[in-house]
Amino acid sequence: MKIGLLGHGTIGGGVDQIIGGIEGMEVKSVVSLEVDDSFRDRHVNGIDDIVNDPEIDTVVEVMGGVEPAFTFVSKAMKAGKNLVTANKALVAAHYEDLIRLSEENGVSFRATASAGGSIPWLVNLSRAKRADTILELAGIMNGTTNFILSKMKNEGADFDETLREAQALGFAEADPSADIDGADIRRKLNISANIAYDVQIPEDSIDTFGIRNVTSQDIRNAAALGRTLKLAGFSGKTEDGIFAYVEPVLLPSEDVMAYIPSNYNLIRYRGAYAGIQSYVGEGAGRYPTAYNVVEDLFDILAGEKHFYTVTAVPAVPDNTAPVHRYYVRTSVITPGLLEMAEDRQDGYVITKPVSVRGMHSFIREQLIRDPAAFIAGIPD
């Protein structure tokens, strides 16, 4: 297998290093904005150099972002080259297009590392649906935010201090917005739900609230309630369709997700026959993610020709279906919040059961009145 590598940053460099020790795989050409001595002799000017090289049969895309990544991989697939990507933004934005390009051009398309880092989550999810019906899936899907929340709980650190440490360790980007605002989890949940339920959900239809506003007081309040604060994604089947959302949650002590440490992820599904199946592993970092990219290359060598599903029925989440209580911390108590309140404490409110759609609509409006407001779901 001769490979064209798009991107030689954190993940790309890891992929290149792992492949260097595997017989039968070779990174022949590299497209990268920055060049160093480790691949200078393999650096090429652009995607056309890879597309026009008949020896290259597979492209690995780890550039990140939607463009020019989509333009590059489209050219490669149309030229008959297999695609492996770790780019969740690309897969979420062009889910149906990438499946179609794979089918039309008879090439493989794999993206296991796009959801779960080192966890072989998408592979096992697709395997599970062969004999089972996936009813729900949920999990901690972002190593950066889990690192932040774990450290805030265990060491009493504040948010800004912990975020800076996550950036220094390479868990968080210089611009951490995708992590702390929940977009990274939303994309992984989007891809996972599409595969689990054979649908295509518009990414922006998934209600999402992150941890940008979390404070050490929120962590202490959660502990006083006997719960642990985590950021997670949730989706499942309803009578009329599916639901899908991302939000902070106050997990009870009996939920194993409450104990997932540092940059680790836990993702799980509930099947009609298999019940709850959970997968745990490092969700961030160079080598954990690069490892799963290389596993996809082995799958292609073994003859895997398709994505994890070839069905993508358009669907929009019905987030009026999931209902639970919420923790709401805000300095502006509105009549609407008082109507929802079940219990009012110093500095926060516990609501009566409210739909996810209703609470996410409320917090979007509340942030205009109180930009520091924060919510977290309280599962039963």
DSSP state of 273: T
Asked if residues 286 and 169 have their Cβ atoms less than 8 Å apart, the reply is no
pLDDT at 246: 98
Rounded to the nearest 5 degrees, what angle is found at the Cα of 294, between the Cα atoms of 290 and 298? 165
Active site residues: 188
Cβ neighbours of residue 365 closer than 8 Å, sequence gap 6 or more? none
CA 189 to chain centre: 6
Which whole-number Å values give the CA distances from 156 to 55, 149, 314, in the listed order? 55, 10, 44
pLDDT at 284: 67
SS (H, E, C) 87-133: CHHHHHHCHHHHHHHHHHHCCCEECHHHCCCCCCHHHHHHHHCCCCC
For the question of whether the overall pTM of this predicted structure is more than 0.75, the answer is: yes
Positions of the chain with pLDDT under 70: 284
Neighbours of 271 (CB within 10 A): 19
The string of DSSP codes covering 34-53 is S--TTTGGGB-SSHHHHHT-
pLDDT at 310: 83
Asked if residues 86 and 292 have their Cβ atoms less than 8 Å apart, the reply is yes
Neighbours of 242 (CB within 10 A): 21
Residues 331-366: pLDDT tens digits? 999 999 999 999 999 999 999 999 999 999 999 999
CA 53 to chain centre: 33
Cβ neighbours of residue 55 closer than 8 Å, sequence gap 6 or more? 2, 28
The structural domains of the chain, ordered by start, are 2-110 (3.40.50.720), 121-286+315-378 (3.30.360.10)
